[in-house]
Structure 1
Amino acid sequence: MNRRKLLQYAIVAPVAALVGGKVVAMARHYPLDELLQRLKRFPPERLSSNGEWNVSMVLQHLAQSVRYSRLGYPQDRSALFQFTVGSVALNAFAATGSMHHALNEPIPEAPSLVSRVPNDVALAELVQELEIFIDWQGELAPHFAYGNLTKQQYYTAHYLHIQNHLTEISLS
């Protein structure tokens, strides 16, 4: 293969992979409303966490994330990060159907999570934030890592984020 063809493939292949990943990501459906109904059926007194955060802290973190999608995140990553790494990461998560991130990493500059909040209170907060978000008709705030998202992209991000954190929560 000559150098010109190799250079063309080196440029075209990553672009094709990114476009293909975005197409797959956009085609997948993430039923946030069904996840909300599942959360409503959780027995908060029987939930336990096998992660660094207790159940209440996980639920508070998830509620913060959903709330900030409407009201604005306390601190954003750079626009360059959002446009490159953040955008690619969200599309990869959406295309594969799962998110993987540090499950004990707080939202930058968010208020500290309170370990003493009862599980039922934290779960009620998350449920309320999801209901408000699902009904929300106003502008959405840019995500601190992913940048400007449509409501459907936020459905995806919230769904995958909640599912990722639920891997550390079980019934006892």
Structure 2
Amino acid sequence: MSSPDLVQLVERLHQDLGRPERELLAPGSSWNLSQTLQHCAQTVRYSVTGYPALRPALFRATAGALAKRVFLRRGAMKHPLGAEIDGAPPLDPALPVTEAAAGLADAVALFTGHTTEHAPHPAYGRCSHDEFARLHAMHLAEHLPGLAGG
């Protein structure tokens, strides 16, 4: 299975912003669309600027590295959809969706223009640019399966 393309998903998001949230969000999402977009923007941005907190090195080298390999091989990920990023600012449920979408687009632009080594992921550890691009796309697709469905 091939993973979705991050830039294409963000372009699709801008086309789909008028659709009902329930058509975009994963069933059982604990966040609204704005919070979900803020969360996805945080993780994309942090892969460039550095995550606020990392899991222990042993975890990143073992269970985290294994999870990364499995997700990349499958082209899809599965994780708790309400899990916030440790140390990240709280998600604002009242932030307009258009602002949250613009924040995600800005984070993706920062990421796509990044040419040096990325910050380690809190669970997966070091990732190449291509690995992060694929992981971010899978992350967005898991939170917003309505985008990936075409």
- TM (norm. structure 2) is 0.86
Name the CA shift for 1:110/1:168 in 2 (closer, same or farther; >3 Å). farther
- TM (norm. structure 1) is 0.76
Conservation of the 8 A alpha-carbon contact between 1:59 and 1:122: yes
Range with bigger deviation, 29-38 or 152-161: 29-38
Distance in 2, matches of 1:116 and 1:140, equals 31
Distance in 2, matches of 1:118 and 1:143, equals 28
Structure 2 runs not aligned, ≥5 long: none
Match of 1:128 among 97, 106, 110: 106
Q: How large is the Cα RMSD of the aligned pairs?
A: 2.0
Structure number having the greater helix percentage: 1
Q: Which of the pair has the greater relative contact order for Cα pairs under 8 Å at 6+ separation?
A: 2
CA drift at 1:35: 1.9
User: Structure 2 matches for 1:1-172, cutoff 5 A?
Assistant: 30-44=4-18, 46-48=20-22, 49=25, 50=27, 51-167=29-145
Q: Deviations over 1:64-99 (max 9, x none)?
A: 000100000000001111111011101111111211
CA drift at 1:40: 2.7
Amino acid aligned to 2:15: R
CA drift at 1:140: 1.1
Distance in 1, matches of 2:96 and 2:4, equals 29
Q: What is the number of equivalent residue pairs in this alignment?
A: 143
Amino acid aligned to 2:49: L
CA drift at 1:47: 3.0
CA drift at 1:143: 0.5
Structure 1 runs not aligned, ≥5 long: 1-24
Conservation of the 8 A alpha-carbon contact between 1:39 and 1:127: no
Conservation of the 8 A alpha-carbon contact between 1:44 and 1:123: no
Amino acid aligned to 2:7: D
Q: Deviations over 1:24-79 (max 9, x none)?
A: x9xx5652222232123222574344511111000000000001000000000011
